[in-house]
Structures are given as structure tokens and as C-alpha cells.
Structure 1
Amino acid sequence: MTNNRLWTIDFALTLLTSFSFFSGAFYLVTVLPNYISEIGGSPFQVGLVVGAWGYLPLVLRLYVGRFSNFSNKKLLIRIGLISLVIVYVLMSFSKTIMALFILRFIQGIGSATIPTASGTLIANITPFSRRGEGLGYFGITSSLGQAVGPAVGAFVLNQYSYEAVFLLSAFTAIYSLGLIHFVKEPQIPKQTKMNHTSLIPKNAILPAALFFSITLCFAACCAFIPLLATERNITQVSFFFIAHGGVSILARPLGGKAGDLFGRIPIVIVGMTCMTVAMISLSMISTNSGMIIVGLFSGLGVSLSNTGLFALALDRVSLNEQGGATAVVQLAWDVGIVISGVGLGLIATQFGVTSIFIAGAFFPFSALLVILFLLKKRVLSFKKAVL
């Protein structure tokens, strides 16, 4: 009889490791910009240093994914966590912009290795019939880390010092090392290991490309909603992020479970539709209550699309390509954030902030049309995946 159990010790410890990683990284979100300013950094330098941790993943993530195809997930997670311990400790002694930039750049090793390797590990641990649900819970770890981390970092800063926040991040990485030590990594069959694997699994490209349309939208929300709120005298921008994060925690596992039962494509279609509605609504709202409603639609859009397309990418590849598929989907986040900041920023400069969200609605709507076309051509199917 096939073991259909999801909540094992290995599954729970891997989730806790991922949550700890994101929490430790996001302790610095509300702290690092002020610290850079206090030691004499300009606004440009603040942006340069804060964004530096995203540079290495653009290069490393695909190679990490390929290495993760085999039985190397725990090793990669350990390498990433050890690099973070060193970086965070050295940050507590750093008093120059250049030193912080270098350390923040090196922090990208952890950003490349840990999410990719832990995502692949979750895919290996989770029973196939509950893959979407398992990936949904994995997605919650980043959402919770982003929700808890900044608040904890701000609290520690107010009570103690900048150095205490950096050391807390280092301690959290050490704690994560302890957690991952007890995880039993599934062994890839020897005959599977021998197979050649490409850097980018071709069957994972379509789900990643579709998800790219969502990352462009969400990056626009994060970067430009504060400007939209100022322009329209909306006082509670936080309502959007609270609503988005709250519904994400529910939608990820429930959407993943629905995908296991009914197929990946139906929940992806719902997600794409919700994201299109969210972006169009953002071009029109002018109230705090409107921010809540849009946040709910956005949270559903990102959560359902991400969970469904991540699972679809894994469904479409072999066991020894799961690391590569995980990396390709996560790379859509990295590239989307970089391109969105520059491309949509140019649109805002020429046509105003509102135009960003009108343009943003084009991406998920176009992806939705592509999905419908591929369904008609039978490249995609409504049927649920079968192992």
C-alpha cells in the first residue's frame, strides 16, 4: 500500500528550516535601511546594499537546482546556512557601506541554495497524491517569515541595538542548521542518478513562464502601491499587505489540495483571474476598504498560481529533474522582480502610477489566454496528474 502520509517529522522539520531562513532574512528588512543611513549611506546606496542579496541567485539558482536533482539537498542547505551565519556575524561588526554591500552580496549564496534545495526536498518527501498540498504548506513558510521577521527585527532594534538584530539572524541560521540535521533525505535511485539532466528542464519552462506573469504583478504591487496611496490619499497601505498575507496562508494549502483532487489547471485559472481583477481594481480604488478587497484578490492570485504552477512544473518532469524544475520556477521570482522594477518604473515615469496597474493586468490576462489556447490544443489538460 502506498504511504499517503504528509505530516512526517522530515516534512515538518524541513518546513521549520525554511520558515527560520525567511524569518532570519526578514529581520533585516526594517533594520538594514536605517542602519545604512546612520553610517552615512545615501538613498541610492541604501537601495544598492539592500538589493544586493538578489544578484547571486540570478546566476546560482539553476546550478543549485541541477545539483539538487541528486541526493545533495541537505548539503546545499547546510552550505547556505553556514554562509549566512558568517555573513550575519560579520555584519554586526561592519561600519562601512562597502563592507555591508560585500556581505549582503555573499548573503545571496543562502538565498540561492536554501529555498531551492528545501523546495526540492519537500517535493521528494511529499507523497505524489498530496504534492500540491505539501507545496502549499511550503509556500506558507515564506509568507509567515515575511510577516513575522520585520516585526521581530524592529522589536529587537527598539529594545537593544542593530548589532543584536544581526546576531539574532545568525542565531536563527544556527537553529536552522540544527533542524535540518535531523531530516532524513530520500535517496534518489542509482539508475536515476546516472541519467543526464539539463540545466533547465524543458518541461518546466512553460509553468515558470506562466508564473512569471504573476511575479511581474506582485513586484509592481510591492514597489508602487505606496506611491498610489499617496497620490489618492489612501492612509492604510498596510491593509493591502495584511489582507494579501492573511488569505495566502489559507489559500496555499487549500488551493494545493484542490489541485491534487481536481487538477492543477483549474486553480491556476482561478489564480490568474483573481490577479487580473486585482490589478484592474488597483487602477481605480481610492479607499482603505478597497485596499483590503484588492489585497484579498492579490493574495488569492499569487497563492493559487504559484502553488498550482509549481506543482505542475514538478508533475511534468522526471524525479531527477525536480531540483531543476524548482529552480526554474523560483527564478521566475528573481527575474520578475528585477524586470518589474525597471520596466514598470519607466511606464510610471511616462504615464503615471495608475498606468502601472493597467499595464500589470495585461500580464496575467495574457497568461490566461495562453492557458486557454493550450487547453484547446491539448498541450495542457484539466485532468489531475497521475504518477
Structure 2
Amino acid sequence: MENQKIFNKSFLFIFTSNFLIFIGFEMLLPILPAYMISLDASPIQVGLVTTLFTVGAVLIRPFAGYFLIDNKRKALAIVASAMLMLITFVYPFLNIIWMLLLLRLFHGAAWGVSTTANSTMAVDSIPKSRLGEGLGYFSVSTTVGAIIAQSLGIFIYDFYSFDIVIWSSVILSLLALTALLFVKSSVPVKREKAPFRFFDMIFERNAWFPALLTVISTLGFGAIITFLVVFGEQQNLDNIFLFFLVNATVSTLLRPYTGKWYDRNGPWSIIIVSAILGFLSLVVLSFATNDFYLIISAILFGAGYGTVMPCLQTWAVQNVSEEKSGAANATFFSSFDVGVGVSAFILGMLAEWVSIEMIFRIVSFSFLVVAVLVYKDYLNKKK
């Protein structure tokens, strides 16, 4: 009989490793632009810091997903974690801008492999009947890690130096690598697999619908990370950090209940309800003039978007055979990256013409589109 325990030894070590990796990576995000500017980088070059990283992650994930079909997941995760540590170590020794940009491309590639391999091992360690609940718990390692990391990175950079930030990230990566050594990872059964086709592997065919929903859902998240700080300055919201703190707290506290809801009833009802909450959160945010509205918006966003994303990842994995879970995870994360990249580009142009409040209201409809598409899928499955 299948062991129904989620918090087994392997899951706990994968969770810990992923948590440390996310802190080590995310703490670099808010300070790299400032570091590039200190090297006299142009605005375009500063923008390429994020763009090249995304390109590296998206391009490598199809290869990682294909490799994970019938190879040792643990070995790939260890190699990727080691590469993250070594690449981070190199940053202070490069003061030539084009070399730093090239390094960002490789950093994105290592990140793409690491996140894909870790998530696939997490799927392997979770009882299949509790996959929604288990991936909900696992996603806490990313959300909480990201929230802690950016504040930590800014604090260390302001009070110490860029080099200390780098060394902190390297140490965290080393600890993450150590945690992976204690994971007991299953080896997929060797079987005949289709030849590698890059464009087929970018989006695993059987996971296309959750992937599409991920891209659409991420438009709202892209608006938040792109414009919230600027919006806070415009509206004189001094405690904008409350949005990130409350959002992460709510989404984390709800994970045990939303995961069980998914496992009992499937993806349709929970995603529809969560998408509607996501829509309401951005509408409320667009009218925020004080901390009360900001906190209400954060609660709704944590319950909405914070629930939609792990549900979509679970749905993507469940739509494929077990040996293709790596390809499904690669598809999910690539869809997330594409959504963030597309939203930053489109909304950046839109901001030339309309206010940030209007951008939040326009993007809020993306969640309603998700709800409608999921409802139509439910009706088709019901037939």
C-alpha cells in the first residue's frame, strides 16, 4: 500500500534545499541593477540583466525536462545546485559589463535546470493521491523564500557590500547542495522515448492547457512586481512591504486547505474561485489610498494568485505520465517565465499611455479569462 505521508525524509530535504536556493537567488534580484549602474551600465544593459536570465532559463528547461524522463533526478539537481553556487561566486570578479550579461545567461540556465529537477523530485516524493496538497506545501519554499530574500539582500547591500551579498548567497547555495545529498530519489524506469524535439519540449503537449492558464495568470503577478513600488510612491503608501508580507502569509496558511480541496474535487472549482479572488485583489489595489486597502488587496491576492499557481503546477503534472513529470514541470516554469517577461514588456509600453491604477484594472480581467476558460474545460469534461 502506498505510503500516504507527505512530510517524509526526502520531501523535507528537497523542501529545505529549494528554500535555501530561492533565498540565495532572490536576494540578488533587487541589488544587481544597482551594481550594474555602479559599473556605468546603460538602462538597456540593466534591463538585459533580467531578460538574458529569463532567456537562459526558458531555453534550457526543454533539455532538462527531456533528461529527467528516464535519468536520475538527484544527480541533475546536484549538478545544477553546484553550478548555481559557482556562478554566483564569480560575480565579484567580473567588472566588464558584457561578461556579466553573459554570466546572467548561464545563471538563468542553471536556475532553469535546478527548479525543474527539484520540483520533479518533489513530485516523486509525494503520494499521488495527495499531490495537490503536497505541491501546495512545496510551493511555500518558493514564496516564503522569495519574500525573505529580497529584504535580506537589500539590508546586506545597504549596510555591508555587494561582495558580502554574494558570499551569503554562495553559503546558502552550499547548504542547499548539502541538503540534496540526503534525498532518496527514485530512478525512472528505462523505456523507449520519443526523439528530442526542442519546440515540442518547450511546452509538453499534454500540459498545454495548464501552461496557457499559467501565462495568463502571471500577467497579474507581472503587474505587481513591475509597478507596485512605483504605485506606492505615487499614492504615498509608505508600508508597501505589507503587501508582500501579507500576501505570502495568507497563501502559506491556506496551502493545507486548498491542497486538500484540489485533491478531493479536482482543479476546476478551486481555480475558478481563486481566479475570481485574484480579479478582486487587483481591483481593490487600484483604489488603494491607505494601508487598509493595501492589506485587503494582499489578502485577496494571496488567497487568489497564491492558490492558482500551485494548482496549475499540479494539474500540469497530473496531465502527463509519471516519467514525463520533469517535462511537465519544465513547461510550467517556462510558462511562468514567459508570462512575467511578456507582462513586463507589454505593460511597460502601456504605462506610457495610462495610469498604474488603470493598468491594475485592465490586468485584473486576465483572472476572469482564466475562470471562464476553466469553467468551459469543466463543461467539456462533464460531457
Instruction: Give unpaired runs (5+ residues) of structure 1.
Output: 381-387
The aligned residue for residue 196 of structure 1 is 194
The aligned residue for residue 385 of structure 1 is none
- CA deviation after TM superposition for structure 1 residue 123, in Å: 0.8
Distance 2:334 2:3 in 1: 32
Distance 2:348 2:382 in 1: 35
User: Which AA in structure 1 matches 2:205?
Assistant: K
Distance 1:213 1:235 in 2: 30
- Could you tell me whether the CA contact under 8 Å between 1:54 and 1:111 is conserved in 2? no
Deviations 1:201-241 (A, max 9, x none): 32211111112221011111111122323333333222211
- CA deviation after TM superposition for structure 1 residue 293, in Å: 0.6
- Could you tell me whether the CA contact under 8 Å between 1:265 and 1:308 is conserved in 2? no
The aligned residue for residue 383 of structure 1 is none
Distance 2:17 2:175 in 1: 8
Tell whether 2:310 aligns with 1:307: yes
Tell whether 2:373 aligns with 1:370: yes
SS of structure 1 residue aligned to 2:3 = coil
The aligned residue for residue 384 of structure 1 is none
- Could you tell me whether the CA contact under 8 Å between 1:82 and 1:173 is conserved in 2? yes
Moved more, 273-282 or 63-72: 63-72
Tell whether 2:128 aligns with 1:128: yes
Distance 1:195 1:273 in 2: 40
The aligned residue for residue 185 of structure 2 is 185
- CA deviation after TM superposition for structure 1 residue 45, in Å: 2.9
The aligned residue for residue 7 of structure 1 is 7
The aligned residue for residue 212 of structure 1 is 215
Distance 2:286 2:164 in 1: 41
Tell whether 2:362 aligns with 1:359: yes
User: Which AA in structure 2 matches 1:151?
Assistant: S
User: Which AA in structure 1 matches 2:27?
Assistant: Y
Tell whether 2:319 aligns with 1:321: no
Q: Give the counterpart of 1:297 among 300, 325, 345.
A: 300
SS of structure 2 residue aligned to 1:230 = helix
- Could you tell me whether the CA contact under 8 Å between 1:135 and 1:253 is conserved in 2? no
Q: Percent identical across equivalent pairs? A: 27
Distance 1:236 1:42 in 2: 30
The aligned residue for residue 30 of structure 1 is 30
User: Which AA in structure 2 matches 1:279?
Assistant: L
Deviations 1:323-353 (A, max 9, x none): 1111111111100111101112222212222
The aligned residue for residue 150 of structure 1 is 150
Distance 1:262 1:221 in 2: 30
- CA deviation after TM superposition for structure 1 residue 249, in Å: 1.5
- Could you tell me whether the CA contact under 8 Å between 1:71 and 1:186 is conserved in 2? no
Q: Which residues of 2 match residues 315-354 of structure 1 at below 5 A? A: 315-354=318-357
Deviations 1:36-69 (A, max 9, x none): 2223234443332244322211211122112122
Residues 159 and 228 (structure 1), Cα distance of their counterparts in 2 relative to 1, 3 Å cut: closer
Q: Give the counterpart of 2:282 among 260, 274, 279.
A: 279
- Could you tell me whether the CA contact under 8 Å between 1:70 and 1:320 is conserved in 2? yes
- Could you tell me whether the CA contact under 8 Å between 2:276 and 2:371 is conserved in 1? yes
Distance 1:267 1:71 in 2: 34
User: Which AA in structure 1 matches 2:53?
Assistant: W
Coordinate RMSD, CA, aligned: 2.0
Equivalent residue pairs, number: 378
The aligned residue for residue 105 of structure 2 is 105
- CA deviation after TM superposition for structure 1 residue 122, in Å: 0.7
Distance 1:168 1:285 in 2: 36
Distance 1:81 1:22 in 2: 11
Moved more, 40-49 or 362-371: 40-49
Moved more, 254-263 or 147-156: 147-156
The aligned residue for residue 76 of structure 1 is 76
Distance 1:160 1:184 in 2: 39
- Could you tell me whether the CA contact under 8 Å between 2:94 and 2:100 is conserved in 1? yes
- CA deviation after TM superposition for structure 1 residue 142, in Å: 0.9
Distance 1:341 1:151 in 2: 22
Distance 1:252 1:135 in 2: 9
SS of structure 2 residue aligned to 1:92 = helix
Instruction: Give unpaired runs (5+ residues) of structure 2.
Output: none
Q: Which residues of 2 match residues 245-284 of structure 1 at below 5 A? A: 245-284=248-287
Distance 1:243 1:138 in 2: 19
Distance 2:134 2:231 in 1: 36
SS of structure 1 residue aligned to 2:186 = coil
- CA deviation after TM superposition for structure 1 residue 273, in Å: 0.8
Distance 2:159 2:344 in 1: 34
- Taking structure 1 as the reference length, the TM-score comes to 0.92
User: Which AA in structure 1 matches 2:192?
Assistant: M
User: Which AA in structure 2 matches 1:172?
Assistant: L
Residues 154 and 284 (structure 1), Cα distance of their counterparts in 2 relative to 1, 3 Å cut: closer
- Taking structure 2 as the reference length, the TM-score comes to 0.92
SS of structure 1 residue aligned to 2:102 = helix
- Could you tell me whether the CA contact under 8 Å between 2:84 and 2:111 is conserved in 1? no
Distance 1:237 1:146 in 2: 16
